[in-house]
């Protein structure tokens, strides 16, 4: 199917529902984060109608940049997994097969790790927008936080599934450590965002 961003929603869902391994969970994680970033941008746009605050302009620009990055990562995730499948199709008697598989797995782990890293930045920006958004749209920041946290957690699952097949502990150990730290930070940030949202809704 064509370029990732040129698909309709139904085309993407049809591809996701098929027996093809791509798109898969990694692309869904990145796409979920892109939706969350779009919601963040919307909160900024609505607030900017009422107040002229340079922080809103900075945050809006960051959300747009993050959204573009997440859609690129969704595309890269498909490409990375296709590379893994290609490596496994190398004949078993080929002496380069093992190295090709390990290299492809490292690439497939790197993409969702970037999604998780950017997801934490997204949540950081959402935390900053909570006191600036309008009361009528602040629930959208909460929805974005829930999506952002899920996107990070989903991306990290995709890191871990690739790490499970890597054989070099010197490669896997730091990646596991960073993944664990990103997951904890995402949960912490989301809890702070939701607490702020609920406080504003009840005030």
DSSP secondary structure string for all residues of the chain: ---GGGS-HHHHHHHHHSSSS-S-HHHHHHHHHHHHHHHHHHHHHHHHTT---HHHHHHHHHHHHHHHHHHHHHHHHHHHHHHHHHHHTS-TT-TTHHHHHHHHHHHHHHHHHHHHHHHHHHHHHHHHHTTTS-TTTHHHHHHHHHHHHHHHHHHHHHHHHHHTT---HHHHHHHHHHHHHHHHHHHHHHHHHHHHHHHHHH-
How much is the pLDDT for 6?
A: 79
User: pLDDT class for 22, splitting at 50, 70, 90?
Assistant: confident
CATH entry, 4-202, from 3.20.20.10, 1.10.275.10, 2.130.10.10, 1.20.120.680: 1.20.120.680
Residues 49-72 pLDDT 10s: 999 999 999 999 999 999 999 999
pLDDT over threshold 50, residue 13: yes
How much is the pLDDT for 3?
A: 65
Residues 171-200 pLDDT 10s: 999 999 999 999 999 999 999 999 999 999
pLDDT over threshold 80, residue 88: yes
pLDDT over threshold 70, residue 40: yes
pLDDT over threshold 60, residue 2: no
* Torsion sign over Cα 186, 190, 193, 196: negative
How much is the pLDDT for 20?
A: 86
Q: What is the DSSP letter of 18?
A: S
Helices 97-129 and 54-88: angle between axes, nearest 10 degrees: 160
User: pLDDT class for 121, splitting at 50, 70, 90?
Assistant: very high
Mean pLDDT of 106-113: 97
How much is the pLDDT for 85?
A: 95
- pTM here is 0.94
Mean pLDDT of 79-88: 95
Please provide the average confidence, as pLDDT, over all residues in the chain: 95
Residue of 43 and 22 predicted with greater confidence = 43
How much is the pLDDT for 4?
A: 66
Domain range summary for the chain, segments of one domain joined by + = 4-202
């Amino acid at each position: 199917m064509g370029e990732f961003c040129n698909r309709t929603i139904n085309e993407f869902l049809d591809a996701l529902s098929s027996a093809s391994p791509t798109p898969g969970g990694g692309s869904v994680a990145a796409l979920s984060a892109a939706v969350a970033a779009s919601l963040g941008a919307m909160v900024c746009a609505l607030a900017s109608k009422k107040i002229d605050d340079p922080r809103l302009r900075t945050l809006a620009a960051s959300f747009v940049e993050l959204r573009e990055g997440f859609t690129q990562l969704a595309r890269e995730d498909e490409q990375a997994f296709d590379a893994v499948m290609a490596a496994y199709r190398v004949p078993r008697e080929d002496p380069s097969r093992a190295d090709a598989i390990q290299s492809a797995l490292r690439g497939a782990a790197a993409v969702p790790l970037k999604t998780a890293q950017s997801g934490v930045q997204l949540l950081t920006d959402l935390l900053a927008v909570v006191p600036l958004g309008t009361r009528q749209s602040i629930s959208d920041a909460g929805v974005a936080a829930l999506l952002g946290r899920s996107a990070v957690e989903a991306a990290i699952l995709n890191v871990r599934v690739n790490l499970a097949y890597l054989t070099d502990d010197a490669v896997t150990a730091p990646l596991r450590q960073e993944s664990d730290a990103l997951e904890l930070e995402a949960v912490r940030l989301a809890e702070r965002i939701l607490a702020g949202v609920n406080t504003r809704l009840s005030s």
